Structure 1
Amino acid sequence: MTNSLSSGLITKSSCQKDKSFQVLNRIVVEELEAWFFGDVQAIRQAYPKVSANLANQQPYRDPDAIKGGTWEALERVLKKAGYHPGGLEKYKASSEISKYMNPQLNRSTSFQVFYRGLLDCINNKQV
């Protein structure tokens, strides 16, 4: 197995000052649905019957702090609005919501860290 150092690619975390990096390591587990909750407008564009007040409701104000599992929370929200009655189809929901996401406005801190890291990688900037 070739790692980034032996391949000549520099990771963001190992990058020295005034150098650029080519690899941004991030693992998305729970965060994916939190990232969707970070852009309630995208959820509403994909699923118009979802409450316009969703982002103001206490459980969803901080997308990265949703308790009880973010995919379960997304499933509950969508089912309540009349979508995915047989259970959340993650791939379908991901495809439908992500096409409306506005990265600059996403309220999820973990999404913003990932997004800024990608921009830095694309722009070859050292942070």
Structure 2
Amino acid sequence: MHFEVLVEDLSGQKALEILLPRVIGSEHTYRTHAYKGLGSLQRNLQAHSDPTTKQLLANLPAILRAHGKAYAASPRHYPVIVVCDLDDKCPRAFRRELLAILDVCDPKPHAVFCLAVEEGEAWLLGDLAAVKTAYPKAKNAVLDSYANDAVCGTWELLADALYPGGAKALKKKGSGVAGEQKRQWAEAITPHMDIEHNNSPSFRYFRDKLRQLLAGA
């Protein structure tokens, strides 16, 4: 089986490049695609994507239509995994929006939508032992205050635990520096994660969905 994995930023891509082989095994293949933010869906889901727009949702309908056509003969062997942050959206409403894209695809690809609740850093915080191994000087009081998949400003909480001066100091340096710092956290923490005992429900959903696809191949 071959997985095409779409993710909204480089930090998510870095984490998935490390995690995917551990979930799907070496006998299967994958390719990850990182975008410059989540963005928003176009009103006309059948419209062509704007090549100058590098955000995930703006490009997603065109990507899924093309994928459905390319692998029409065997869609289940070439699934598309879409990983994006939920942020403050209603999970049911957002999932309905994503599933509606498939209605304009003919033929339809085999697509799975995985939402990181609230943000991708929730998957890192689902394994506090991994965070503390990667960053022994992390502020335990901050980490231990976290409730898994809470909508609480997840990346800011991780910054408060790991970054000198916390999220406030990091935000002052701009989005580019913050994005690079998120990538570094993913690169440092993910290798230490125990994928079988992660406490993030949204990570476990992602892991188990991939395994279900493999079991049904």
Paired position in structure 2 for 1:99 = 191
Q: In 2, distance between residues paired with 1:26 and 1:32?
A: 11
**Partners of 2:206 and 2:195 in 1: CA distance:** 10
Structure of greater relative contact order (alpha carbons < 8 Å, 6+ residues apart):
1
**Alignment partner for residue 33 of structure 1, among 117, 121, 142?**
121
Report 1:1-127 matches (<5 A): 1=62, 2-6=65-69, 7-8=71-72, 9-10=75-76, 23-28=111-116, 30-51=118-139, 57=144, 59-60=145-146, 62-67=147-152, 69-79=153-163, 87=170, 89-124=181-216
1:40–1:98 CA distance, 2 compared to 1 (3 A): same
TM-score by length of 2: 0.43
Unaligned runs of at least 5 residues, structure 1: 15-20
What percent identity do the matched residue pairs reach?
28
The 2-side partners of 1:78 and 1:119 are apart by 32
**Shift of residue 53, structure 1, vs aligned partner:** 6.3
Q: Report the Cα offset of residue 48 of structure 1.
A: 1.1
Residue 63 of structure 1: how far off its partner (Å):
1.8
For this pair of structures, how many residues does the alignment match? 114
**Alpha-carbon RMSD:** 3.4
Which residue identity does 2:137 align to in structure 1?
Answer: K
TM-aligned CA deviation for residue 25 of structure 1: 2.7
Deviations 1:13-48 (A, max 9, x none): 89xxxxxx9643325474311111110011011001
In 2, distance between residues paired with 1:123 and 1:22?
A: 15
